[in-house]
Amino acid sequence: MSEEPLIRIRNLHATAGGVEILKGIDLEIRVGEIHAIMGPNGSGKSTLSNVLVGKPGYEVTKGEIYFRGKNLAEMDPEIRAREGIFLAFQYPVEIPGVANNYFLRTAVNAIRAHRGEEELDAMDFLSILREKMKLVEMPEDMMSRGVNEGFSGGEKKRSEILQMLLLEPAFCILDETDSGLDIDAMRTVANGINQMRSPDRAMLIITHYQRLLDYVVPDYVHVLSGGRIIRSGDKELSLELEAKGYGWLEDGEGTPA
Amino acid sequence: MSDSLDSLVRLRPTGGSGWAGSLREEALASFLEQGLPTRRLEEWKGTNFAPLGAMDFTRVGPDHSSGDTLNRPCVEISSEEHGLVFIDGRFDAAASQRSDLPDGIRALSLAEVLDDEPELLTGKLGQLTDLKRQALVALQTAFLEDGAVLVIDAGARTVRPLRMRFISTTADAVSASFPRMLVIAGENSSVTLLQEHLTVGAAPGFTAFVAEFHLAEGARIESVQIQSEGAERIHFTSVHARLGRNARFHSHVFSLGNGLVRSELDVQLAEPGAETMLCGLFIGRDKGHTDHFTTIDHAAEQCTSDEEYRGVLGDHSRGVFRGRVIVRPGAQKTDARQSNANLLLSDHASIDTKPQLEIYADDIRASHGSTIGQLDSDALFFLRARGISAANARLLLTGAFAHGIVDRISDEELRQIVGAVVDSALRSLEHGALETGDPSEGVSKQ
């Protein structure tokens, strides 16, 4: 464990719309690891994911984030994506008029170009796309529709996982990907996520509930509250939270794990 | 500066003999009486055409002095296509293709018709315009010499689109061109038509184009117009259509040039059951000014109009949209829809949009709406978060907005042609707005 972590977050303070939400986060994630972040509403979980991908409106006021030894503060969102950071959005946006397959190929080729790989033509891309679509059980006709246009909640989440499978990021952040999914969709999405598990890759799963973690078992679990990580542990911690809720931890905020 | 355009008027065609000669004289008198339109006129509130008065014209029509500087292959209609080419308003037979036209379709030059069979024009040419009220149409008519005349017999149909290419050359002199078009569509005929207005060269100049479409009962026309004249060019287009019973006129106007542009479209639904669709897209960049003024006149019952214009405005460009819809007394069961949506890409760009409904019948349906917005920042971020550059993300979003209009063209071939020029205009807008482009990954449509 002496190697440089894939991502290293030190004393991170950040504001969203001018309000301080994150108040000193320290977190290191190495390749091959899966971390889960749990916590009540308003604890800063989504702010953390938005800060990691550089969403406008979120500002780092103190501390730093290093990804593969590079300072993220200097990277535009598209550069972070090309470097291998991926966020599966909690609320994926609909973009009518931009066809899914065209969007996906543009994204894949932007990332391939960044890695010095040859761009894929429409035919080559299509065969890769078909293979990945099977993994998330997406029907082919969804590809000629606009990005997320008219998709159900579950279809949007599967679409996010499809994007992750195609872009093959080194660091996957899943922001409440399990919310609003029925049990079948949950299993499909979990399958997709497990496809991405690899010794070369790390994941950060943000969730309210234990249930996704039944399918995608984390190595570490952190509890975020009031903009800080108040407790860290292994997968047992998530089971404990499921049983007891967050109250018992928040009462004794700052108790070492 | 002159309201009467002395330098231009001096260059008008002389030797006004016969019918065309007296029409020109009448038109000139009308123009001189009205002068250049000013913003004091309600219909010209949004647009200042005074720069036209400031131009010192030295040439009207083709430039015979400097030899042939045109890149002929770009100008000519290819041998697999049908179409007419006009250079500075004059017919260019060598660049045109009009052999083997489908039966019942004639593509003629106005100069030929005036010489050989002027009776063809009787009751048609100039019938849909109003010289007393339309100063620039009068000015165009004062220079009437040449243009396109399409005569489509009853029941005749085009197989592939007919192409009308109007090219202005502006090597050095300040020049003007006055192409004209007359389309006479017989009963139950069906015509698909592409009109292109292009500039070769960068010197200042003026193009005034007037077109009249006469649609007999059951005639169908799909007309696509692409205007992409240069920044120094002032462009005036005035299109007039009259629809007979159950006729259908679909117009698709693409204003992509970055000069000063006024585009008028006036559709008379003269007899019951007529139907029109007016689609338009204007893309403004640099200091371009594009003014679209449309009038739909529901003069008979049970007619339908569906109008949708979209504007994409960047840099310091300005757009104007006026959509006038008149529903005359007795035009019951009218169905009139209108919308104008605009995307402002720069803090310095602006749009002035106004519907104008004048309804004098009671049993009708009419709706209108206009919107002004910016690119959706969440969508933009989503695309960037997938590795797509900010510039290409903007292009994807503006492309989606613009293609909403392109996709309404029913002719597949024209949809492809227009899609490509629209994408190219959007790329110019994007890359003009950026200090540095990212040439390694220009968006290319499959």
Give this prediction's pTM: 0.91
Give the residue among B57, B333, B94 at the shortest CA–CA distance from B208: B57
How far away is chain B from the Cα of A97, in angstroms, using its nearest Cα?
5
The pLDDT value recorded for residue B432 is: 72
Alpha carbon distance B336, B324 (integer Å): 11
A184 lies in a domain? yes
Range of the domain at A55: 7-93+153-251
Closest CB to B381 among A55, A96, A147: A55
CB pairs under 8 A between A and B: 81
CATH number (domain holding residue A199): 3.40.50.300
Does this complex have an ipTM over 0.85?
Answer: yes
Best of A93, A161, A165, A173 to disrupt the B interface by mutation (most B CBs within 10 Å)? A93
The pLDDT value recorded for residue B442 is: 34
Which residues on A lie below 8 Å from B376 (Cβ)? 93, 95
Inform me whether the C-beta atom of residue A55 falls under 8 Å from chain B C-beta atoms. Answer: yes
Domain boundaries, chain B: 6-374, 376-446
A61 lies in a domain? yes
A117 lies in a domain? no
Q: Which residue shows structure tokens 């909403």?
A: B404
Which of the 8 DSSP states describes residue B330? Answer: T
How far away is chain A from the Cα of B389, in angstroms, using its nearest Cα?
6
Q: Which residues contact B261 (CB under 8 A, 6 or more apart)?
A: B227, B229, B234, B235, B236, B237, B255, B282, B288, B289, B290, B291
A257 lies in a domain? no
Cβ contact B387–A55 (<8 Å): no
A125 lies in a domain? no
A102 lies in a domain? no
The pLDDT value recorded for residue B16 is: 61
Which residues on A lie below 8 Å from B399 (Cβ)? 97-98
**CA angle at B91 for the pair B87 and B97, rounded to the nearest 5°:** 105
Alpha carbon distance A29, A26 (integer Å): 10
Which of the 8 DSSP states describes residue B57? Answer: -
User: Rounded to the nearest 5°, which phi and psi values hold at A106?
Assistant: -60, -45
pLDDT tens sequence for chain B (446 residues): 456 688 898 888 876 668 889 999 999 999 999 999 999 999 999 999 999 999 999 888 887 765 566 777 778 999 889 999 999 999 999 999 998 899 999 999 999 999 999 999 999 999 999 999 999 999 999 999 999 999 999 999 999 999 999 999 877 788 999 999 999 999 999 999 999 999 888 888 999 999 999 999 999 999 999 999 988 999 999 999 999 999 999 999 999 988 999 999 999 999 999 999 999 999 999 999 999 999 999 999 999 999 999 999 999 999 999 999 999 999 999 999 999 999 999 999 999 999 999 999 999 999 999 999 999 999 999 999 999 999 999 999 999 999 999 999 999 999 999 999 999 999 999 887 543 333 333 333 33
Question: How many domains are there within chain A?
Answer: 1
Neighbours of B100 (CB within 10 A): 7
User: In b/e form, how buried is each residue of B63-89, taking b as 16+ CB within 10 angstroms?
Assistant: beeeeeebeeeebbbeeeebbbbbbbb
Cβ contact A113–B441 (<8 Å): yes
pLDDT digits (tens, 9 = 90+) for A172-217: 999 998 888 888 889 988 998 999 999 999 999 999 888 889 999 9
Alpha carbon distance B51, B70 (integer Å): 27
Alpha carbon distance B418, B409 (integer Å): 9
Inform me whether the C-beta atom of residue B420 falls under 8 Å from chain A C-beta atoms. Answer: no
The pLDDT value recorded for residue A246 is: 80
A199 lies in a domain? yes
SS3 A128: helix
Which residues on A lie below 8 Å from B383 (Cβ)? 95, 103, 107
pLDDT digits (tens, 9 = 90+) for A133-151: 999 989 988 888 999 999 9
A122 lies in a domain? no
Asked whether the beta carbons of B248 and B223 are under 8 A apart, the reply is no
B9 burial level (CB within 10 Å; 0-12, 13-18, 19+): middle
